[in-house]
Amino acid sequence: MDILGTALTLSAPSCPKPTASNTDGGMNWFSCSGDTNSWYGLSNVGMIRDDAIKECTKYGAEVISVFNADIDLCAYYTLSLGNLQNEGAWSSAFYGNNKYQWCPNGTDIYNDCYSQFNYNNFDTNNRAMGDCSTVFLNQGGNTFYEYTWKQESCVARRKFMCRLDCDEIHTTTTTTTKKPTTTVKTTAEPSKWDQQLSVGVYTGKWGIWEGAKTCPFDYYVCGMKSRWEEPQGSFGDDTALNSLELQCCYKDTTITTKTSVRMAEGIEGNWDSSFSSCPSNQFVCGMQVRNEDTAADNTALNGVEVRCCDKKIWANTSVVKIQEGEFGKWKNLVTCPSDYYYVCGLEMQIEPYQGGKAWEDDTAANGIRMVCCHI
């Protein structure tokens, strides 16, 4: 018999048990005598840690921070009652600045974290597997001694545990009704779009950088189309890729209207009739170009291919061909940082029109830099 487990009999927190309908797949909520005025929620579906944080805030709760042994016992109890074994559930533990801290609001160690650990229960055989952490009950485990914490990659899909502290819920009475209204503390998720990086994809031999252009605030690139000149024959001056236009999608499904941003007009060729777009729920996260710059008639940039990353699981990707091109070799793929950065704009290196004489070789588009924005 598990003596520790039997001590954790059901108690009655002072606030109502949260409903499960706010989360995909639902939540199972439990109370615990070791933490008498809190509800413990366990999700039925897995997601990355950042999305787990957002789900917990819907209930006025936080991804669990295990400050002491009493809360740890309740976390074990919740896993046991929820029958979650051999699979972790997200806690708020995060490793940054060479130390672990409780970070229930994100991974910014200066703004999202409470404190360093005064108590921990890490599995000493599970080291350096990631900067985030889960609470974990071994397969067949029926005692607290078969429960531990494990380090995890923050972008793994895991179920998650929320803790709703009823002391953080405030009840007030309005003047227009006899029923009390309950106001639940929630944490607004600030936009991270302004956290931007410039990442070079390719720098050509000719032309000037035109200055970056970006999608509107909180929009990310979800497709592109090109202006491209068909081969002009033996005596013509080929320019191949002349410009790109970005298709921009809002960061979530609350706004479905798409916008577009044209980088430059270019000098020759025709625009594609439609955008080549990422699959639903993905944004552009990397680019690869095809370039020719050692021919008698140089064309510089020819082809463009983009990588699209899922907005919930960055490592889930798709490849979309924007323009195959005709000349030159494909260069290496370049991506935004993997910590949930996506392309939100571009800067292009364009060679101006050279005059049209036989010895004046036009190349148009030569280089590309991505503007990568956090989400």
Question: Does an H or E element contain 99, and which?
Answer: strand 99-102
Which superfamily, per CATH, for 3-184?
Mannose-Binding Protein A, subunit A (3.10.100.10)
Predicted local confidence at residue 112, as pLDDT: 64
What is the four-CA torsion angle of 254, 259, 263, 268, rounded to 10 degrees?
140
The residues spanned by each domain of the chain are 3-184, 196-374
Q: Are strands 159-165 and 89-96 parallel, antiparallel or unpaired?
A: parallel
At residue 19, the pLDDT reads 78
- The C-alpha R_g of the chain, in whole angstroms, comes to 27
Query: pLDDT at position 134, please?
Result: 94
Identify the pLDDT of residue 189: 55
pLDDT for the residue numbered 114: 67
Reported in sequence order, the residue ranges of 237-281 that DSSP labels E, i.e. its strands, are 241-250, 259-262, 270-271, 276-277
Contact at 8 Å (CB) between 169 and 38?
no
Nearest to 39 by CA among 224, 165, 180, 190: 165
Answer whether CATH 3.30.1490.100 is correct for domain 196-374: no
| Predicted local confidence at residue 143, as pLDDT | 85
Average pLDDT of adjacent 10-residue blocks, the chain of 375 residues: 41 80 78 89 92 89 91 93 92 84 77 72 72 90 87 90 80 36 42 88 87 93 91 70 93 87 84 94 94 72 92 87 89 87 92 64 84 92
